[in-house]
């Protein structure tokens, strides 16, 4: 059943020419694009790119939000045997230099003026970049740089070429083989330069089909494509599985309208990292705080019912008559309207991945009737390694190996994977490739975990991050920073956490508050503040965060394995961690090592017992300017609890 992305496009266009392939919201109106129209657009783009000199094996960068023309450009490049390389649209110009030079990129698709400006800024450092095509012409009328052209011009030229050479496109598509390179994705680069992950058509489509078969996906699904295309998770769900299944991909008008567009589309298949689910829940809780007393009481009562019996109902267990009636009433008055408000009233399958999700957050969505499940995978594995079957979704595991996957655990606890979806190599980086791929085909995930008694995979943390407490009351205890961070991030008032403790006598954390949630909390208590920095250092806010920390400590104390990871001291940072400041990756993962160096004074203050510490930090603004933020941060102690004894 091997095939390629362009061949699947032509198959859908032949079998279902008038069926909707994509929708795009523009000026508040949803515009539909059929498979036939999409195939014609791809043909014209491919012919235009061929005329312009794009050759088999060339890399073509695409940078922008999810748009039909961006997807069509990727398909056009693949039709010629070229390789699309999606980049993050919010990446700074300097971050694009290495990928463009590493992949020797000559051709680029840029969505709009912002992306064009970014590419033109770095063009002197990327001399091989000679062709830039833009989709949205707003603001670009007076640009006359060599090699810069509108996508409409490329389409027009390609249409002429297609009329003169009617057999060229199909012949070119047939010349692309399943084991040809289909796409390249650059890793987030938490340490050093990012690495180009090389995937074939077959590795991506094999995993796309495995996921589709696991959840019985059909061409009737509706998907909202709103995450960056450069993230392989979004690419698999809205590109590879889209072509494998033939369902409809919907592109929101902008990042600001995603919530509204989600409600209008009502997707049946939904995918988001935990931070999106956290944000949706936070917005719900903020609105409930502003609701009338009667509505709050009704919400609290029926949510207590949902939390008690909802997960059991989602797992296929029968409820008693009383609980069944209460849940039905709750579904009518609370859960149904809540699902509708979240835009998830039609969701049949929802997945979260990328980071561990808090158990309470996971339970919340399942308790109100949303089939939220976890999956495990990475860029190098084309996402699908483990999936949770319906009725077997648990917050503390990431599911069972899906079709074609083998898993084993190394002596040091590292998860090793063998799968048809593994990367071919890291581009121009054989040493890095040999570090992660063994000669007999096993991939080193760098994640620590184990298979539980039910056959589910349980991830603890990154192997390199799992450590031990040395000294103090928890001497010798296992320390898993990501596990601690994720437990704290469940609380609606906490947005980000960085935990330290390996080789030290105790665990200390630096916390980012959620400005919207804490701001709303402060306003309801008539607590004045002048911006993030001021709010973060309020004594009342520290007490709020301290309660969250101590709740996590109480939970950790009941964990025989990780009871020693309790937080002894904490501080609230004076600024939000930001990818533009190098503190987060573009997929919003904490760069713990970088932060430790940047905020060394704060780390020292935490461990030296100080109660305050002055800090001044250079920050980058959205317009590219630099400035600084300074504050004297408070440092507080948190209560810890005696951990339970591990079973003998």
> Does residue 452 sit within a domain?
no
| Residue 358 placed within a domain | no
Query: Whole-angstrom Cα distance, residue 282 to residue 514?
Result: 9
**Cβ-Cβ contacts under 8 Å for 587 (sequence gap 6 or more):** 188, 231, 273, 354
- Classify residue 399: in a domain, yes or no: no
Domain boundary among 253, 271, 289: 271
Model pLDDT, residue 435 = 95
pLDDT confidence of residue 648: 38
Residue 35 in domain: yes
Spell out the residues 6+ positions from residue 337 whose beta carbon is closer than 8 angstroms to its own.
Answer: none
Where does a domain end: 271, 301, 335? 271
d(CA 373, CA 394): 8
89 within 8 A of 62, measured Cβ to Cβ: no
Token pair, residue 617, equals: 């930090």
- Percent of residues, the chain, with pLDDT higher than 90: 75
Cβ(498)–Cβ(583) below 8 Å: no
Distance CA 368, CA 327 (A): 9
Q: pLDDT digits over 29-63, tens only?
A: 999 999 999 999 999 999 999 999 999 999 999 99
For the chain, give the percent of residues with pLDDT over 70.
98
Q: Is residue 588 situated within a structural domain?
A: yes
- What pLDDT digit, counting tens, does each position of 207-230 carry? 999 999 999 999 999 999 999 999
pLDDT at 190: 56
Confidence of residue 256 (pLDDT cuts 50, 70, 90): confident
Residue 248 pLDDT: 98
Q: Average of pLDDT values for 262-288?
A: 88
**What range defines the domain where residue 133 resides?**
5-271
How far, in Å, CA of 372 to CA of 212, rounded?
16
Residue with tokens 């960085």: 498
pTM of structure: 0.82
Q: Is the pLDDT of residue 316 over 90?
A: no
Decide if pLDDT at 647 tops 60: no
CATH of the domain at 222: 3.40.50.12780
For the segment 627-636, what is each residue's pLDDT rounded down to a tens digit?
888 999 999 9
Of the listed ranges 30-34, 84-88, 550-554, 584-588, the one predicted with least confidence? 584-588
Task: Return the CATH number at 560.
Answer: 3.30.300.30
CA atoms in the 13 A half-sphere facing the CB of 247: 27
278 belongs to a structural domain: no
* Per-residue b or e along 469-498, where b marks 16 or more CB atoms closer than 10 Å to that residue's CB: bbebebeebbbbbbbbbbbbbbbbbbbbbb
- Which three-class secondary structure string do you get for 154-213? HHHHHHHHHHHCCCHHHHHHHCCCCCCEEEEEECCCCCCCCCEEEEEHHHHHHHHHHHHH
**Is 346 part of any domain?**
no
Return phi, psi of residue 305, to 5°: -65, -45
Q: What is the pLDDT of residue 460?
A: 81
Question: Is 152 within a domain?
Answer: yes
Once rounded to an integer, what is the mean pLDDT over residues 127-140? 96
pLDDT score of 577 more than 50: yes
Can you read off the two tokens belonging to residue 453?
A: 């008694």
Beta strands, E only, 75-116: 83-87, 107-110
The domain boundary, picked from 271, 292, 309, lies at: 271
* Residue 273 pLDDT: 86
Q: Pairing relation of β-strands 372-376 and 386-387? A: antiparallel
Structural domain total, the chain: 2
The residue ranking higher by pLDDT, 395 or 469, is 469
């Amino acid at each position: 059943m091997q095939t390629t992305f362009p061949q699947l496009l032509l198959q859908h266009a032949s079998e279902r020419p008038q069926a909707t392939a994509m929708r795009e919201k523009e000026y508040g109106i949803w515009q539909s694009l059929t498979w036939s129209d999409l195939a014609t657009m791809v043909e014209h783009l491919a012919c235009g790119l061929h005329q312009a000199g794009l050759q088999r094996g060339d890399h073509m960068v695409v940078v922008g939000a999810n748009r039909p023309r961006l997807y069509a450009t990727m398909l056009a490049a693949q039709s010629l045997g070229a390789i699309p390389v999606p980049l993050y649209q919010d990446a700074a110009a300097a971050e694009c230099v290495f990928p463009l030079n590493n992949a020797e990129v000559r051709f680029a698709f840029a969505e709009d003026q912002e992306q064009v400006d970014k590419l033109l800024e770095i063009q002197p450092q990327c001399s091989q970049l000679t062709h830039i095509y833009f989709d949205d012409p707003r603001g670009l009328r007076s640009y006359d740089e060599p090699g810069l052209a509108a996508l409409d011009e490329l389409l027009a030229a390609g249409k002429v070429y297609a009329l003169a050479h009617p057999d060229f496109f199909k012949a070119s598509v047939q010349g692309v083989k399943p084991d040809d390179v289909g796409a390249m994705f650059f890793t987030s680069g938490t340490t050093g330069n990012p690495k180009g992950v090389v995937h074939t058509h077959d590795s991506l489509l094999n995993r796309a089909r495995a996921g589709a078969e696991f959840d019985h996906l059909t061409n009737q699904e509706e998907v909202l494509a709103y995450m960056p295309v450069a993230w392989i998770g979004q690419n698999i769900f809205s590109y590879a599985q889209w072509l494998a299944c033939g369902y409809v991909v919907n592109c929101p008008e902008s990042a600001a309208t995603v919530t509204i567009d989600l409600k209008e589309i009502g997707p049946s298949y939904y995918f988001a990292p935990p931070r999106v689910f956290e944000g949706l829940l936070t917005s719900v809780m903020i609105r409930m705080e502003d609701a009338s007393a009667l509505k709050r009481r009704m919400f609290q009562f029926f949510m207590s019912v949902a939390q008690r019996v909802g997960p059991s109902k989602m797992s296929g267990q029968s409820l008693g008559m009383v609980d069944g009636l209460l849940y039905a009433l709750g579904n009518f008055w609370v859960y149904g309207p809540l699902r509708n408000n979240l835009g998830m009233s039609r969701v049949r399958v929802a997945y979260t991945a990328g980071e561990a999700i808090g158990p309470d957050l996971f339970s919340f969505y399942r308790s109100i009737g949303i089939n939220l499940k976890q999956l495990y995978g990475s860029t190098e594995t084309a996402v699908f390694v483990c999936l949770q079957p319906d009725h077997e979704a648990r917050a503390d595991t990431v599911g069972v190996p899906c079709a074609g996957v083998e898993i084993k655990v190394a002596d040091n606890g590292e998860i090793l994977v063998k799968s048809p979806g593994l990367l071919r190599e890291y581009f121009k980086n054989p040493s890095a490739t040999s570090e992660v791929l063994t000669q007999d085909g096993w991939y080193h995930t760098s994640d620590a975990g184990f298979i539980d008694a039910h056959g589910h995979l349980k991830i603890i943390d990154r192997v390199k991050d799992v450590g031990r407490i040395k000294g103090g009351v928890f001497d010798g205890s296992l320390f898993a920073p990501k596990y601690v961070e994720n437990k704290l991030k469940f609380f609606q008032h906490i947005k980000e956490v960085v935990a330290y403790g390996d080789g030290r006598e105790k665990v200390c954390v630096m916390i980012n508050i959620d400005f919207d949630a804490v701001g709303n909390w402060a306003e309801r208590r008539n607590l004045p503040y002048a911006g993030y920095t001021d709010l973060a250092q309020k004594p009342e806010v520290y007490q709020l965060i301290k309660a969250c920390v101590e709740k996590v400590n109480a939970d950790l104390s009941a964990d025989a394995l990780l009871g020693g990871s309790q937080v002894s001291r904490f501080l609230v940072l004076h600024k939000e961690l930001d990818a533009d400041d190098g503190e987060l990756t573009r997929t919003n993962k904490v760069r713990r090592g970088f932060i430790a160096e940047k905020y060394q004074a704060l780390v020292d203050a935490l461990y030296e017992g100080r109660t305050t510490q002055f800090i001044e930090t250079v920050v980058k603004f959205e317009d590219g300017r630099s400035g600084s933020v300074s504050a004297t941060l408070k440092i507080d102690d948190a209560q810890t609890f005696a951990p339970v004894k591990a079973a003998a």
